[in-house]
Amino acid sequence: ALKILDDEMQSDVIKIGGMVHNKERFVKRRQRLLGPNGSTLKALELLTGCYILVQGNTVSCMGTFSGLKQVRRVITDCMKNIHPIYHIKELMIKRELAQNPELAEESWDRFLPKFKKKNVKRSKPAKEVKKKTYTPFPPPQQPSKVDLLLESGEYFMQKEQKERAKAESKDEKQSERTQERMRKREAAFVPPTQEIAANKCVDVKEKKQKEKNEFKELTHSLKEKSKNKASRKAAIDGDESSMLLSSKPKIKK
């Protein structure tokens, strides 16, 4: 802290709290500045020659004016979702180029890396909600229960009449349901027409014919396999007998 009293040393406090509104994103991007075991922060300190401290919603820096300028650029870009490793690569190349006196008056754009921006497509929602046309007038008022009763005439009915009407409506609904059930049950017992019966007979005959043909093919193939095996065995036996005859020693007279 006493180094700030030097004439060349300057300090800067960068507020990063309001740059990202989402808390989870803010924590992730702040962690990028530190890196694993503070490796990225150490690299930035070595390349810029500044002391950097990340704490809460602020980043405090101390160093030269040019170094503080570079640090501010890296931090603001990191909060805008640009990884600090790109800036670290750029600073390393600039440091090497600064040591070469021949390139002092030339532009370093050809040596610096050019990173392409990747526009990642965001996943669209499954259901697209259509926006309603804007109207300054409010929607029409829905009729209340009392209004509906007045329209139907039930409002002026007595309790007994209301109960009777409810029971009648209930009976009507119940009768409709029973009729539907009876129709479904009767549909299962309806006899098939002559055309359907004839088609079924044809299908059964075709299935039987197919089964017969398949059985014949199987028997034929099995017979052929047994014949081939018998012929192979006969050929092997003939070869063995010829070999035995040739191997027998000839008796001298």
**Mean pLDDT for the stretch of residues 59-66:** 90
Selection from 70, 73, 40, 53 nearest residue 1 by Cα: 53
The residue whose two tokens read 């600090």 is 84
- Radius of gyration of the chain from Cα atoms? 47
* Residues facing residue 12 across a β-bridge: 61
Selection from 110, 79, 105 nearest residue 93 by Cα: 110
The residue whose two tokens read 């990063």 is 16
| pLDDT for 252 | 47
**Mean pLDDT for the stretch of residues 132-149:** 87
| pLDDT for 192 | 61
pLDDT level of residue 253 (50, 70, 90 thresholds): very low
Task: With a cut of 60, say whether residue 50 has pLDDT above it.
Answer: yes
Task: With a cut of 60, say whether residue 243 has pLDDT above it.
Answer: no
Return the percentage of the chain with pLDDT > 70, whole number.
Answer: 83
SS3 assignment, position 60:
strand
**Mean pLDDT for the stretch of residues 101-121:** 72
The residue whose two tokens read 């669209």 is 124
Distance CA 13, CA 43 (A): 19
Distance CA 245, CA 240 (A): 9
Alpha-carbon dihedral 196, 201, 207, 213, rounded to 10 degrees:
-140
